[in-house]
């Protein structure tokens, strides 16, 4: 074990938020050992800005609770931890862990329960990468390095502690972490890891709960290096495990959205990881919508059902929380709204809660060469910067343009034009009673479609009519009137 002088590596107490110091100090005062460990130390060593600081101690979670009282909550079952609240910060305090006992390991070698307390030496050996296993005692100004992690910091190498094959088998999520850190830190992956990073090994991710994989996917999307990690995920075959249905070619749209996400993070803007999910699954959503349309399902219902289907299939890999699913479907639905808005709805659409995300999405599509947006991305972009008078002019121009296209004599489409133009009228559950009565005979989408056989434009045998849930869930996809 080497004791490094923190100041020699550019670390100082001044870089630390008061909250982590308070936790370290309180534990020390109570007679326990306490260190900062993990990503915080690693990032400081690399001159990066850590996103948070985790603490580790020889106090058990119950003892940590004794020290911090009501400011502490013990969480987790498989991996028990103390959460300590200091002001607005939350500090995660872990207890030194010893190797897990045999009885809590699955048949495949995966650790199921992991609350066997131990010494700092045992704790270090349990961590994933050497660079994540440095222990920093800020008051003493020292870093404990048990494995020459400092050499890996210097040579920018990602090295797993212990035998890589075993470490991946114990916790297959470490494969994802490998690619995440390689991309985030711009490190190379040690050859002995590459040796075991086989397609068979990546299959082990199937045993990981879709909840945990969603959390990991979020970290991948929000670390600021999506552009770098996407090709790695594909190359190493982890893509298939995370997004079974998404084609592993990075489309121009996905590439641009990744670039845009990274840039937003770089300038400190917030990002919603669900937005990138919406991007990734967009093509699947469109294909699925086409599938329903071809069966003669009314457009709004086709989109709603397609959205449900695509998200349901994705949930076998990563379980997207309900609110994020709703967000994704709203962004998709917004695409239709923004593409051909009713002139009188333009202003309220621009003030809609989902406008910003929907518009960003539309513009990214357009900028990546998707001409089905018909230039509406640019139109909305310009619209937002206009004065009230300019907006009026723009809307009437848009209106004229719209009327012109609609008046074009497209013989077989005439009926379609008059019927589908108002998007809101497609939104059955949110229509006013009056418009619902008025359009009771209306929402037939395509006259060319022979499958259409009843007044709603859907084949009476179509499964969509047999699934009550669809109707209920539609209310989440289609917006009510804008406030
Ligand atoms: P960041 O927070 O920047 O994403 P991190 O290294 O802090 O990176 P966390 O997930 O916050 O990552 O974990 C904190 C520390 O806990 C890690 O640095 C590592 O030492 C240990 N750790 C986390 N996950 C694992 C794992 N799956 N296997 C072994 N050790 C882990
Ligand atoms: Mg961390």
User: What one-character-per-residue DSSP string does 121-151 give?
Assistant: HHHHHHSSBGGG-EEEETTTTEEEESS-HHH
Tell which of 155, 188, 214 closes a domain: 155
Distance (angstroms) between ligand 2 centre and the Cα of 315 equals: 26
Q: Per the domain annotation, does 267 fall within a domain?
A: no
Number of domains making up the chain: 2
pLDDT surpasses 60 at 209: yes
Distance (angstroms) between ligand 1 centre and the Cα of 37 equals: 9
Q: Are 202 and 237 in contact (CB under 8 A)?
A: yes
Q: Per the domain annotation, does 40 fall within a domain?
A: yes
Instruction: Match 């890999």 to its residue by tokens.
Output: 317
Tell which of 155, 185, 220 closes a domain: 155
Q: Using one digit for the tens of pLDDT, what is the confidence trace for 9-27?
A: 999 999 999 999 999 999 9
Q: Are 129 and 181 in contact (CB under 8 A)?
A: yes
Say what the pLDDT of residue 288 is: 96
pLDDT surpasses 60 at 2: yes
Q: Which atom of ligand 1 is nearest to the CA of 174?
A: 27
Say what the pLDDT of residue 482 is: 25
Q: Which atom of ligand 1 is nearest to the CA of 219?
A: 4
Which distant-in-sequence residues (6+ apart) come within 8 Å of 117 by Cβ? 58, 60, 95, 96, 97, 98
Say what the pLDDT of residue 323 is: 92
- What's the CATH number where 121 sits? 3.30.460.10
352 lines ligand 1 (CB under 6 A): no
Tell which of 402, 421, 453 closes a domain: 402
pLDDT surpasses 70 at 133: yes
pLDDT-based confidence at 406, cuts 50/70/90?
low
Q: Per the domain annotation, does 420 fall within a domain?
A: no
132 lines ligand 1 (CB under 6 A): yes
Q: Are 445 and 419 in contact (CB under 8 A)?
A: yes
Say what the pLDDT of residue 103 is: 56
Cα distance from N-terminal residue to C-terminal residue, the chain? 63
User: Rounded to an integer, what is the distance from CA 326 to the centroid of its chain?
Assistant: 13
Q: Per the domain annotation, does 237 fall within a domain?
A: no
Q: Using one digit for the tens of pLDDT, what is the confidence trace for 36-60?
A: 999 999 999 999 999 899 999 999 9
More confident residue, 102 or 215: 215
Average pLDDT of the chain?
A: 84
pLDDT-based confidence at 351, cuts 50/70/90?
confident
Q: Per the domain annotation, does 151 fall within a domain?
A: yes
Measure the CA dihedral 212/216/219/225, to 10°.
-170
Minimum mean pLDDT range among 91-95, 119-123, 434-438, 443-447: 443-447
Q: Per the domain annotation, does 422 fall within a domain?
A: no
Q: Per the domain annotation, does 413 fall within a domain?
A: no
Q: In angstroms, rounded to a whole number, what is the distance separating the alpha carbons of residues 23 and 85?
A: 9
| β-pair partners for 144 | 3, 135
Q: Are 161 and 99 in contact (CB under 8 A)?
A: no
Distance (angstroms) between ligand 1 centre and the Cα of 30 equals: 26
Minimum mean pLDDT range among 169-173, 201-205, 351-355: 351-355
215 lines ligand 1 (CB under 6 A): no
DSSP label of 104: G
Q: Are 216 and 205 in contact (CB under 8 A)?
A: no
Identify which of 45, 50, 54, 229 to mutate to test ligand 1's pocket (most ligand atoms within 8 A of the CB): 54
Distance (angstroms) between ligand 2 centre and the Cα of 323 equals: 25
Q: Per the domain annotation, does 114 fall within a domain?
A: yes
| Inter-CA distances, 380 with 30, 133, 280, 322, 433, Å | 60, 50, 23, 29, 30
Structural domain that includes position 65: 1-155
pTM of the model: 0.81
Residue 155 burial class via C-beta count within 10 angstroms: exposed 0-12, middle 13-18, buried 19 and up: exposed
Query: Among residues of the chain, what percentage have pLDDT more than 90?
Result: 67
């Amino acid at each position: 074990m080497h004791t490094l002088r923190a100041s020699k590596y550019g670390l100082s107490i001044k870089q630390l938020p008061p909250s982590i110091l308070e936790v370290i100090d309180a534990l020390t005062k109570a007679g326990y050992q306490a260190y900062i460990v993990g990503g915080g130390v690693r990032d400081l060593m690399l001159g990066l800005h850590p996103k948070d600081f985790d603490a580790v101690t020889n106090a058990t979670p119950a003892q940590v609770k004794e020290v911090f009282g009501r400011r502490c909550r013990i969480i987790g079952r498989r991996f028990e931890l103390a959460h300590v609240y200091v002001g607005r910060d939350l500090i995660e305090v872990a207890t030194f862990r010893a190797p897990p006992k045999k009885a809590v390991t699955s048949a495949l070698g995966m650790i199921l329960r992991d609350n066997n307390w131990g010494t700092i030496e045992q704790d270090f050996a349990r961590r994933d990468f050497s660079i994540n296993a440095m222990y920093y005692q800020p008051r003493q100004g020292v870093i404990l390095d048990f494995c020459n992690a400092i050499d890996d910091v210097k040579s920018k190498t990602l090295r797993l502690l212990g035998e890589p094959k075993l470490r991946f088998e114990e916790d297959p999520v470490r494969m994802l972490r490998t690619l995440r850190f390689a991309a985030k830190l711009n490190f190379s992956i040690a050859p002995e890891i590459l040796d075991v990073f086989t397609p068979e090994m990546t299959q082990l991710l199937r045993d990981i709960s879709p909840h945990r994989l969603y959390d990991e996917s979020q970290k991948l999307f929000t670390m600021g290096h999506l552009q770098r990690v996407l090709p790695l995920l594909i190359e190493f075959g982890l893509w298939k495990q995370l997004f079974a249905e998404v084609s592993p070619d990075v489309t121009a749209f996905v590439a641009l959205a990744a670039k845009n996400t990274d840039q937003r993070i770089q300038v400190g803007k917030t990002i919603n990881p669900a937005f990138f999910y919406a991007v990734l699954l967009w093509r699947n959503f469109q294909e699925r919508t086409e599938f329903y349309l071809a069966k003669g399902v009314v457009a709004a219902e086709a989109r709603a059902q397609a959205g449900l289907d695509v998200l349901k299939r994705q949930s076998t890999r990563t379980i997207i929380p309900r609110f994020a699913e709703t967000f994704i479907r709203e962004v998709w639905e917004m695409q239709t709204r923004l593409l051909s808005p009713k002139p009188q709805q333009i202003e309220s659409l621009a003030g809609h809660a989902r406008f910003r995300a929907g518009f960003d999405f539309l513009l990214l599509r357009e900028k990546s060469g998707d001409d089905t947006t018909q230039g509406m991305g640019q139109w909305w972009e310009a619209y937002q910067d206009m004065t009230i008078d300019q907006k009026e002019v723009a809307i009437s121009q848009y209106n004229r343009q719209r009327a012109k296209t609609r008046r074009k004599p497209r013989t077989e489409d005439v009926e379609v034009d008059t019927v589908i133009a108002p998007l809101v009228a497609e939104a059955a559950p949110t229509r006013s009673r009056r418009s619902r009565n008025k359009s009771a005979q209306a929402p037939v989408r395509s006259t060319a479609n022979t499958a259409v056989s009843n007044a709603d434009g859907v084949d009476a045998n179509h499964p969509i009519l047999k699934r009550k849930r669809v109707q209920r869930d539609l209310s989440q996809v289609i917006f009510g009137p804008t406030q």
